[in-house]
Amino acid sequence: MPDSNARFTLDPAFTVGEVNPRLFGSFVEHLGRCVYTGIFEPDHPSADEAGLRTDVLELVRELGVTAVRYPGGNFVSGYRWEDSVGPAEERPRRLDLAWRSTETNRFGLSEFMAFLGKIGPQAEPMMAVNLGTRGVAEALELQEYANHPAGTALSDRRIAHGDKDPFGIRLWCLGNEMDGPWQTGHKTAEEYGRLAAETARAMRQIDPGLELVACGSSSQAMPTFATWEATVLQEAYDLVDHISLHAYYEEIDGDRDSFLASAVDMESFIENVVATCDHVGARLKSKKRIQLSFDEWNVWYMKRFEAENTANPLDWPEAPRLLEDNYSVTDAVVFGSLLIALLRHADRVTVACLAQLVNVIAPIMTEPGGPAWRQTTFFPFAQASRYGRGEVLDVRADSPTYRTAAYGEVPLLHATAVRDKDTGAVTVFAVNRSQSDPLPLRIALTGLDVTHVEEHSVLSDADPEARNTLAEPERVVPHAGEGAVLAGGVLDVTLEPLSWNVIRLAAGA
């Protein structure tokens, strides 16, 4: 009879790498209600003097986001940065081809930077430039406006607009999803690789210390996957620092078993991109190592959106309700597993952005003029951002498996662990993918000074479809797990069915 227990060993001598704080980034795109009536609603009772919703700001701080990508996304490929600066009442209205909406530009670059400032010092801009309908010249203009101190036409324009100090943006995306035929200004790998290299070279003439992200594949399923990365990096390898990955997951045709194993695809995607990057580096005889920016990831019911959009195409509205997925407990468990996948590859994934931050496939929802609340996915992200800082320990689990249609045999346990090198505390993040059975887990702790279980937090529910809504904003919240025992250097704990678990092991008395 096969063993029904899962087990692994933790040892500080065996590590993956240090977690980059940017792993807990997010994404604000001018799409649907992410900006307007999301983070920005001047007439809201909670709005501050800048029109930002303070109830949303409080939740964003609690969520713990770091790098925030802006302003897109598909939106950026039609973006005219100069429309978003200067007096708001003078900014032009534009058609947004990406989401068939009307963009008012009432919220722009200065407002975004002010928003980040109110989140806190951990919030860092990740600015995307338009390489779909624009190019090198416009990227340089935006860089000069944003970053040059003073004394030039564009830097002095920023000062005249009320921002005396430069924004100091260090992290830049060279376009968005340029491999996708849906992208305005879609290009071949050869075309984009050359343009990305030209743009990177020019931007570095102003500031050699920038960090630049080249567009990788929009998903591992793209027909050009891997060939795209290899071609782009052949042109731009020594000019960029990161290559991007995007991936979204959803339950398809009721196949929940495969949905729960979505992180199998995410980990494969990461490892295949690493292999491609390193192959190009070897071919170029370069000592440089390209890092990965997983700057769009989430659970997204894309097929549902595509069907609704085909049936009812938009007619250029302002801030329509788009992509407002309401997440279940099941979605949150998959979401937590995706976070685990990112942490397990912290040696190469040094930037990651949850897409998106508010209302649009988001952990935070709002109602215009009304409240803001946490979706089920809010909790895994907030816990990972708070406790997933430090050094990722190498977890190689022995786990019972189950069969999936999409990925074959898959472990029921998906786990990682992070050690705080200053305190010695260890946090284990674990998902039980079984829909029906608890999973006993034994962890051997070798060379670690942990002394007791500080907390075992569980996100699960008897109803896997339970979700938080405007009517019931706190229907789903984490609860305390029971029965975790740490004795003799061994932790024994049982994971509830279909659950996300955070087990905090403290060091010292």
Tens digits of residue pLDDT in 465-482: 999 999 999 999 999 999
Q: From CA 303, how far away is CA 73, in angstroms rounded?
A: 18
Question: Which candidate, 474, 445, 475, places its Cα nearest to that of 10?
Answer: 445
**Res. 400: pLDDT tops 60:** yes
Catalytic-residue membership of 454: no
Catalytic residue among 41, 103, 138, 177: 177
pLDDT of residue 3: 65
Over residues 154-175, the mean pLDDT reads 98
| Architecture of the 6-12+393-507 domain | Sandwich (2.60)
Over residues 169-196, the mean pLDDT reads 98
Quickly list DSSP for 141-160. Answer: HHHHHHH--SSSHHHHHHHH
How many distinct helices (H) and strands (E) make up the chain? 11, 25
Confidence of residue 88 (pLDDT cuts 50, 70, 90): very high
**Res. 117: pLDDT tops 50:** yes
Confidence of residue 84 (pLDDT cuts 50, 70, 90): very high
| Residue 298 structure tokens | 């989430």
Sort residue 37 into left (φ over 0), alpha (ψ -120 to 50) or beta. Answer: left
Domains of the chain, by residue range, sit at 6-12+393-507, 20-387
Confidence of residue 377 (pLDDT cuts 50, 70, 90): very high
State pTM to two decimals. Answer: 0.97
Share of the chain above pLDDT 90, in %: 96
Catalytic-residue membership of 177: yes
For the stretch 291-334, pLDDT in tens is 999 999 999 999 888 888 777 888 999 999 999 999 999 999 99
Q: Helix, strand, or coil here: 102?
A: strand
pLDDT of residue 311: 78
CATH of domain 20-387: 3.20.20.80
pLDDT of residue 2: 46
Q: From CA 157, how far away is CA 142, in angstroms rounded?
A: 11
pLDDT of residue 309: 79
Question: Which candidate, 71, 74, 148, 134, places its Cα nearest to that of 105?
Answer: 71
**Res. 493: pLDDT tops 80:** yes
Q: From CA 434, how far away is CA 37, in angstroms rounded?
A: 38
For the stretch 408-448, pLDDT in tens is 999 999 999 999 999 999 999 999 999 999 999 999 999 99
Please list, in sequence order, all residues whose beta carbon lies within 8 angstroms of the beta carbon of residue 50, skipping any fewer than 6 positions away: 111, 114, 115
494 secondary structure, DSSP code: E
pLDDT of residue 241: 98
Confidence of residue 509 (pLDDT cuts 50, 70, 90): low
* Cβ proximity of 509 and 470 under 8 Å: no
Over residues 118-128, the mean pLDDT reads 97
pLDDT of residue 1: 31
For the stretch 259-292, pLDDT in tens is 999 999 999 999 999 999 999 999 999 999 999 9
Catalytic residue among 29, 267, 296, 496: 296
Over residues 181-195, the mean pLDDT reads 97
What is the residue-averaged pLDDT of the chain? 97
Over residues 153-175, the mean pLDDT reads 98
